[in-house]
Amino acid sequence: MRENPDDDPFHDCEFGPDAVLGTHTFHDVLFTDDTETPVNVLTGETPVHSQASVEEAKAFAASIDTDTPQIALPASVETQIETQSKPYTAAAFFHFKATGSLERHRAYHAAYDSDAFTVDFEADYESGDLTITVDRANDS
């Protein structure tokens, strides 16, 4: 790490850029048509609040007013029951629930916010896979 934190977007991160450079795919992390939903044991039906399509989830994530692109992540069955919410939630594409750790989340966030890196992602809602690619800006 550099001595001057202003020169190093990763100065506050546990991981440096090497942890996120290149292409990484995170499997089965997105909301899909197969995301688990609760079932009423008496009727065998999924409650109305837990019925949703991938298109609806993608539209919801896209509607979030933020500078950081959002993705649709599955909500736990417990959350759906307790809050009577949809089976998805929106989060930044580098959210720790998608990338697997808070350390990786912070590193992707640092790269995304830095002009020294280009960060692209592809959300494949059919497979549930999220692919994030990070390159140095002068390499792209």
Give CA–CA dist 39/5, Å, rounded: 51
In angstroms, the CA 42 to CA 98 distance is: 34
Query: Can you tell me the distance from the alpha carbon of 100 to that of 103, in angstroms, rounded to the nearest whole number?
Result: 9
Domain presence at residue 72: yes
Give the total number of structural domains in the chain.
Answer: 1
Question: Which residue range(s) make up the domain with 117?
Answer: 16-139
Q: Is residue 69 part of a domain?
A: yes
Q: Tell me, what's the pLDDT at 66?
A: 93
pLDDT at 92 over 60: yes
DSSP state of 124: E
pLDDT digits (tens, 9 = 90+) for 10-62: 988 999 999 999 999 999 999 999 999 888 888 999 889 899 999 999 999 99
Asked if residue 106 belongs to a domain, the reply is yes
pTM equals 0.88
